[in-house]
Amino acid sequence: MISGLENKITVYHGSTSLIETIDVAEGKPYKDFGRGFYVTESELHARNIAIRNKRIEKERFSRDCEAYLYTYEMDMPMLYSFSIKEFQYADMEWLQFVVANRKTRNRTHGYDVVIGPTANDDTMAVINAYLDALYGEIGTDDALRTLLNYIEPEKLPRQIYFSNNEATGILVMKRQVVIA
């Protein structure tokens, strides 16, 4: 499971939104594990997400905003009281799960928490090529294997997804800082 045997672990969330209370309904659709709230054990990854989203807000919508880094403490014993799906690796099962969620506004599963590799911007370019049938007929083993080979799964940081506000209750905010 997630790093070690600790009772509590530190996780991070990068955003351009000022978050006082987590509301999974505020999450964006078409994400790796569905619309919800995402954190990572990688502070650098969370920082990069916040800075990237700030750039996107500026370029696409001509909006100035702040980039925030949130630090949370996650209660590990409480995590196990929820329905969890964990992907240890970016393998074929993970890939099919991500593609299914990236194709719809609403999540495609019944898990409270999903843990696994993050499909980054480079990954999405490769997934879009797959969805355009550039690797062969969508859904075939050959097309999926080609897609998985191009993803470079060893470079993908882990993320933790929460599908409902009850599950996010195991997160306690420790710090919020403006980073850009």
Q: What is the mean pLDDT of residues 141-146?
A: 87
- Check residue 95 and give left, alpha or beta (phi > 0: left; psi -120 to 50: alpha): alpha
How far CA 70 is from CA of 107, 132, 166, in Å, comes to: 24, 36, 19
The pTM (predicted TM-score) of the whole model is 0.87
Label residue 90 by pLDDT band (50, 70, 90): confident
Q: Which of 156, 147, 153, 92 is nearest to 125 (CA)?
A: 147
Close Cβ partners of 9 (under 8 Å, ≥ 6 residues apart): 2, 3, 41, 73, 74, 76
Label residue 154 by pLDDT band (50, 70, 90): low
Angle between helices 92-102 and 141-151 (to 10 degrees): 90
The pLDDT tens digits of the residues spanning 116-139 come to 998 866 777 888 888 899 999 988
